A and B are shown apart, each in its own frame.
Chain A
């Protein structure tokens, strides 16, 4: 999964000069295309992770270039979990805006026609923040006016805390709900008990 640290989008920067605008637009379109081309279809269950096409350094350089020519949202710094909202409020925001694609525990889900909303299991704080801000690929864009940075940090706090926290009920079996529970009851539950009744009914 790739979350570009490049925080520009088409509509948010002011045009610096007539000649530069078309060039910049083209560059940005290309960038978008690069990101869209990235292969996110690895085989692992929902853990589709791919390497970014650009190194961190290259992304910083691209970012500096765009900032120098009109600018746009920047990669956030500092503690991205520092928020005035509670975990509960962060969770509420997550469920309202994010869970419909990424699942209530961030496990990810398929979108239409082969697309994918990836798992959040490997996402860092920065990746989460910049993804919300830029809306990579088919993910919607969550402006800082729509979801304030404070709210974004609350969502990050919630998701990262959830990832680190332990399951009180034993093994989380994937934290994806009834499907894995159904598999467990049939394979482990009924399976074990049928083997046992075959043993009970056996005659020596």
Chain B
């Protein structure tokens, strides 16, 4: 360090000095110069000083009291949740009391410490040398020489074969841990993204995949009124919990006609149409259905789909229509129930690079 070390007093001199002088000498020796130092209460015991001390002590005392109160509340206050009318509602003060008392304790400590520095500790201003000059030339030269000779010692400059083989080994070192640690995470997507559980082998479900509500009941056309919609799922194992299968079954009014997309004209049944609930933008359920304007609004980024145009996106960031589920009917014991005839003909939800 290139501080002004010229005037470091010796140990005997230091022992002769007052502690304050020794402190200042110590600071100077490290390049820190106290340029202003003043006791706030040069005459000890004045009312002003006592007042300041009382103030700081009050803060710490408050902190202590708040701490005790915190412990009492923590242990003794009722905290169990009850519905209104079924038990004490005092739990609603438990968290606020704990937070408030803890806050009071911490603020007491904090303000106490800051006020201690501001009101009681001496006023002081110190200046520290930055010691910012670059290293002296001799240091730089010696370090440069150390580095270069060390590099020469390795012989890498001349030994080509060594460098080549080291590079290969280094490449292996860079990639092998990655492969070993991360490799098992890699899973081939295959074409899983393009299929949902609505697509089942026809021999297993010859009449089509049953359409069910979230509680497992089959959906019948009479259930839903014109202007209504229901969230439905395929009645297969995992159908309700899968993230790809939620579907909106919508019953339009008789005077509302759907302008179908190519190849999907017969996907509806009667007044009914069914679309994948999963927004084709970023995957949120697009289920805000405005039955009079026949718009489906997705709450996440405000994409809007026009049901009468086969759920074509008409506003917002979505770019692709909601896939349409081909509906069919199966009659069981005289009652009509909906089935899904086959899977959506395009991948549902957000797009990806290799989307067919």
Contacts and interface: CB of A to CB of B under 8 A. Distances in A.
In the complex they form, whether A and B have CB atoms below 8 Å apart is answered with yes
Given A100-B299, A112-B293, A168 B81 contact: yes
Most B CB within 10 A of own CB, among A36, A92, A137, A145: A145
A58 interface: no
A138 B228 contact: no
B288 interface: yes
A53 interface: no
Interface in B34-84: 81, 83-84
B295 interface: yes
Interface in B130-185: none
Interface in A36-55: 36
B226 interface: yes
Interface string B72-112: 00000000010110000101101110010000000000000
A200 B225 contact: no
Contact of A145 (B220, B285, B287): B220
A10 interface: yes
Contacts of B214: 92, 96
B226 A9 contact: yes
Contacts, number: 95
Contacts of B114: 200
B229 interface: yes
B231 A142 contact: no
B92 A140 contact: no
Nearest to A166: B92
B96 A9 contact: no
Interface of B: 81, 83-84, 89, 91-92, 94-96, 99, 114, 118, 214, 220, 222-231, 253-254, 285, 287-293, 295, 297, 299, 302, 304, 315
Interface residues of A, number: 35
A167 interface: yes
Contacts of A14: none
Nearest to A135: B227
A9 B99 contact: no
Contacts of A9: 225-227
Contacts of A111: 288, 290, 297
A142 B228 contact: yes
A148 to B, nearest CB: 10
Given A111-B288, A168-B94, A97 B225 contact: no
Contacts of B297: 111-112
B290 A138 contact: yes
A123 interface: no
A60 B95 CA distance: 48
